[in-house]
Amino acid sequence: MNTTTFDLPRRHARQRRDPLDWIFAVLVLLGGAYAFKRYHASMNVYEQGILLCAMPAMIGLGWFWKPLRLLCVAAGAATLLAISLYAQHTGGFGADLAAGEKVFWLKYLLSSQSAILWMSLLFYMSTLFYWGGFFTGAGRNSVAEVVGSKLAWGGVLMALIGTLVRWYESHQIGPDIGHIPVSNLYEVFVLFSWMTTLFHLYYEQRFATRSLGAYVMLVVSGAVSFLLWYTLARDAQEIQPLLPALQSWWMKIHVPANFVGYGSFSLAAMVAFAFLLKSATPRALLIGLIGVPGLIVVLILAVRLLAGVSPQTAGGLESWAAKIAGVMAFLGLCIALRRQLVARLPDLPQLDDLMYKAIALGFAFFTIATILGAFWAAEAWGGYWSWDPKETWALIVWLNYAAWLHMRLMKGLRGMASAWWALVGLLVTTFAFLGVNMFLSGLHSYGKL
């Protein structure tokens, strides 16, 4: 078993604390106290409890992984600056959100939409630099990969600023409209993008190699592309009042826990892709990369037929076929360039170990999120489980990764078999996350495309 990358120092926690740790802890406590003093009247007892629990959790995370200290402080400071700029322009209720189009720093950097657009640009640039790192420089980490990593950190920072400022903006529209921004596809795609990137950055530091960034950031760039398309197609950036079923404190913990799972599963799948590219023969890769898109087409056809899609909408399938052809062309290029793309990857045992740890983390949080979702359903709809399409596919995702973990822990599943399974698992997860909203309907149709 590999013990070089994941073992924590065994010294007592108190001996590891430095002055910056304690300064960070004080800043978090002061920020939490300020938020409680200013906004406690707008919180119910559950929200106050979440705030109180969030403070020690954030301190613990910052102590465990020190880069989070600067990230949290920078995001908090930028958010407070945005709030102060909004507060200078007061309207009928709270701040005048029109200031977001008039004040320079809000319009071009700190309003929620501006920050999220910067996030998108930085994640795209990060992906390009990571991929450029395969063909430039020498050694374990090239200059391009270092730049890609810095850009990824910048994208996470802008995503957090955009999320926090959007939370504030929602409360300025009306006293009953404000909510944590995890209520629709636009908001959760932002959540997915920064959370997946942050998981990658953590493992990047633990393994002391940036070569996996090119693979993981592909998923993030795909999410950003959907986010931008969805924004243009539906004006999704507009803040909307919550539907009655979403007006619950359960949403504040259920959705983030879910996306810890989604982000971890996505990271594991891209590590699995790197594993296969490094270990499988070209023939095996070609067979698999033809078979997997074929499976996607079959699934789409089956779901559309079961959903009773009319023949007039068949053009949608042609669009999907074009997208899949583009993906296959890209994967073919990866196979052709595999020597450069795998030269700086970690050893296969390390990739296998990372894949396992990512799935184990995601499975734990996805299990918690599923349980929390059942409690939320009981409160909103009067029953813990209704076999709604979203619930059914969440169960399928859970069973898929439960079986993967069982086979690994009980039967010693390793190598290419586990990697192919993890890669196919991303398709199952993607359908549960997005496909259900596209092709099916049910109680969760508030996220329908």
pLDDT in tens, 32-86: 998 888 877 777 787 788 889 999 999 999 999 999 999 999 999 999 999 988 8
Domain annotation covers residue 216: no
Domain annotation covers residue 307: yes
Domain annotation covers residue 86: no
Q: Is the pLDDT of residue 401 over 90?
A: yes
Please state the domain count of the chain.
1
Q: Is the pLDDT of residue 274 over 60?
A: yes
| pLDDT at residue 315 in the model | 45
Distance CA 246, CA 171 (A): 16
Tokens of 11: 């010294």
Distance CA 144, CA 137 (A): 8
Residue range(s) defining the domain that contains residue 295: 252-449
Instruction: For the beta carbon of residue 186, count every other beta carbon within 10 angstroms.
Output: 23
Long-range contacts of 283-289 (CB under 8 A, 24+ apart): 284/416, 285/335, 286/332, 286/335, 288/420, 289/328, 289/331, 289/332, 289/335
Are 272 and 429 spatial neighbours (Cβ–Cβ below 8 Å)? no
Domain annotation covers residue 147: no
Domain annotation covers residue 239: no
Domain annotation covers residue 246: no
Domain annotation covers residue 320: yes
| pLDDT at residue 10 in the model | 43
**Residue 10 half-sphere exposure, CB side, CA atoms within 13 Å?**
2
pLDDT tier at 279, thresholds 50, 70, 90: confident
Domain annotation covers residue 279: yes
Q: What pLDDT, in 10s, does the model give residues 352-362?
A: 999 999 999 99
Q: Is the pLDDT of residue 212 over 70?
A: yes
